Copies of this chain bind each other. A is one copy, B any other.
Amino acid sequence: MQLGLSVSDSDVSSFTPLVVLELADDTKAEAITWLLNRIRDKQQNGGAELLVNQLLFPAQDDQKPNPNVFVVGSTLQRLLNGAEDVGLFKEFQDGTMRGFTYANRESFKDFNGDGEGFLSDAECQYIIKHELDTLRAKNEEHVPGYPKLKLYPGKSVVRRLQSKGVLIQYFPLHNKEDLKRLSFSWYKKFKLSLQPLDDIRHYFGEGLALYFGFLEYFTFALVPMALIGIPYYLFDWEDYDKYVLFAVFNLVWSTVFLEVWKRCSATLAYGWGTLSRKKAFEEPRAGFHGALGFNPVTGREEPVYPSSKRQLRIYLVSVPFVLLCLYLSFYVMMVYFDMEFWAINIYNENPDIATSILLFVPSIIYAVVIEIMNLLYRFAAEFLTDWENHRLESSFQNHLVLKVLVFNFVNCFASLFYIAFVMQDMVLLRQSLATLLITSQILNQVMEAFLPYWLQRRRNKKVHKRMRRLMGDKELPLLGQVQLETEMNTYLGTFDDYLEQFLLFGYVSLFSCVYPLAAVLVVLNNITEVYSDAFKMCHVFKRPFSEPAMNIGVWQLAFETMSIIAVVTNCALIGLSPQVKAYFPESDTQLILIVVAIEHVLLAFKFILAFVIPDVPKHIQVNLAKLEFDSLEALKKRKILEATET
């Protein structure tokens, strides 16, 4: 709670500012007054009981600053109550993680005095976000001054303002001191140590920390494969037959990898107190719209959109659109193969250095086109899923992930499958895989890190210059910080980061047996990825609200599906290898039957393994059972007490 700027800014705001609210600069005064009153009002009266102050930027010669920027803070007492509302888990005296209650606050570890420093910044900001999000309309029929901004009892005020563009954005402020410390331990020193996951979680929340945990785990898991891959690559490079052993290794690896991750993830989430945390009741998305009706669950008035209409939109528009895109992707693939043959023909006619370089050109062009198509499709998918008008954010996310995954999978891997199983040309497969992988990694790093970094630098310089021009030597760190961060890009969540890892996992688990260097490339990519992602989180993007997460969610399923496909693919690759074929000189039939039989056994084994290995390590299971037992016992005792009292 000790923000580095609270002392020198005592003239600007009398409390520690945690969250910035930016309203449109033409917002009507009565709406602002109403909103601020609702935010400041007591909880009993349905307010959020938070502290809020306006920030006035000095006028500038070239452009008028937005006058409607506010900072929100809170009293300690309110934050502690809020922690109970959102169901925060904190470390108890006995080392277990328990749901925080204000009544038992003294029994929690690290709770000293009035509780100063008990909640981390990110937690405070999360609580404030929750309180703002659940600030509900009472009897107002519309937002004051905006007759068209209809309200109904129970509607989240902030979401309505946001969906209509009155509230431009709200975001948590960075804490410069903490950020400095975090970025030093994270990426500034050259070190062989692991990432400071606990610090990341402390500053950015569990969702992001789990992503970095997964990134780290994935990279480490690839190291054995990379180590095996290098000698393979060096000594058997031209011996295409010898990939059987490597395929078997891939098979086992891709299965064990995910099973072990589930346990690691559970361990992390338990330590962070999100494993047994109950999901809050989900609010409708900000963009959800429909005729006013009654929610069958809460009985409250809220927009209702018939699910049959949504189904129609999904099946009559979205599905055909996705299929069309897939067709397009296949068409582009065929064009690529035409280019490939054309290049090979030129090379065969006149084999010299220039034409041998030409051999790689089609693959590189294709890789770039794939990335562009993925990017375009991503926007289209987001637009379509939004248009499907899902009521809940989780349902929106699931539909978006499904759309994007299917297309990305086909777009990235179709050509490889075609080369491997239709053309059965392992040389071309290797070359194609290498080009795809390297090109897409380079593109990704540029798009993801360097480009935003460069843009941000330019912007920073401009803002700094402007501020200096205005104030001379006087420093107003809060005003400067807010103005800087307001203009930073918004981090859109871990979606794209996981997607990239998903595709890399695909390249490695599906086809790395024919190109053993793939694992090495992915390891190298991920090491720089850690640094560039860390840097972009700390300096390129606005600080995101922390997001409690108990696992990597739908991505676990996506990776598991990929690992099943990997089993099938690797078995098929083994069946195709000349080495194995040599054992069945007479009949292909027998070979195929045996490969299919082995594949079935492996798949069955995989399912049994997933079933037998507990997803949560034993000692955490015991701790969770203990918590449950304790709460049951407490309930029983209370009942007996109540019974004897009456």
Contacts and interface: CB of A to CB of B under 8 A. Distances in A.
Interface residues of A, number: 26
Contact of A626 (B81, B296, B588, B643): B296
Interface stretch (A249-257, A466-474, A589-597): A589-597
B625 A297 contact: yes
A640 B592 contact: no
A622 interface: yes
Interface string A278-311: 0001000000000000001111000000000000
A450 interface: no
Contact of A297 (B281, B299, B622): B622
A510 B84 CA distance: 55
A296 B622 contact: yes
Interface in A31-65: 43-44
A220 interface: no
Given A43-B640, A44-B640, A600-B568, A297 B592 contact: no
A644 interface: yes
Contact of A629 (B298, B600, B643): B298
A428 interface: no
A281 B43 CA distance: 38
A636 B44 CA distance: 12
Nearest to A642: B103
B589 A281 contact: no
A626 B297 contact: yes
Contacts of A568: 600
Contacts of A596: 592, 596
Given A281-B632, A297-B622, A44 B589 contact: no
A419 to B, nearest CB: 18
A629 B593 contact: no
A641 B375 CA distance: 52
Contacts of A628: 281
Given A588-B589, A632-B281, A44 B644 contact: yes
A455 B349 CA distance: 94
B296 A629 contact: no
Interface in A587-646: 588-589, 592-593, 596, 600, 622, 625-626, 628-629, 632, 639-640, 643-644
Contacts of A644: 44
A644 B296 CA distance: 31
A625 B588 CA distance: 56
- Give the interface centre of A596, A626, A643, A644 by most chain B CB atoms within 10 Å: A596
Interface string A502-541: 0000000000000000000000000000000000000000
A628 B622 CA distance: 26
A593 B589 CA distance: 9
- Give the interface centre of A281, A297, A625, A628 by most chain B CB atoms within 10 Å: A297
A162 B514 CA distance: 64
Contacts of A297: 622, 625-626, 629
Nearest to A84: B639
Contacts of A281: 628-629, 632
A44 B622 CA distance: 29
Interface in A544-571: 568
Nearest to A81: B643
A297 B296 CA distance: 39
Contacts of A629: 281, 297-298
A423 to B, nearest CB: 16
Q: Which 7 A-B pairs have the closest CB atoms?
A: A297-B625, A588-B589, A297-B626, A296-B622, A596-B596, A592-B592, A297-B629
Given A568-B600, A592-B593, A596-B596, 13 more contacts: A44-B644, A81-B643, A281-B628, A281-B629, A296-B622, A296-B626, A297-B622, A297-B625, A298-B626, A588-B589, A589-B589, A592-B592, A592-B596
25 contacts: A43-B640, A44-B640, A44-B644, A81-B643, A84-B639, A281-B628, A281-B629, A281-B632, A296-B622, A296-B626, A297-B622, A297-B625, A297-B626, A297-B629, A298-B626, A298-B629, A299-B626, A568-B600, A588-B589, A589-B589, A589-B592, A592-B592, A592-B593, A592-B596, A596-B596
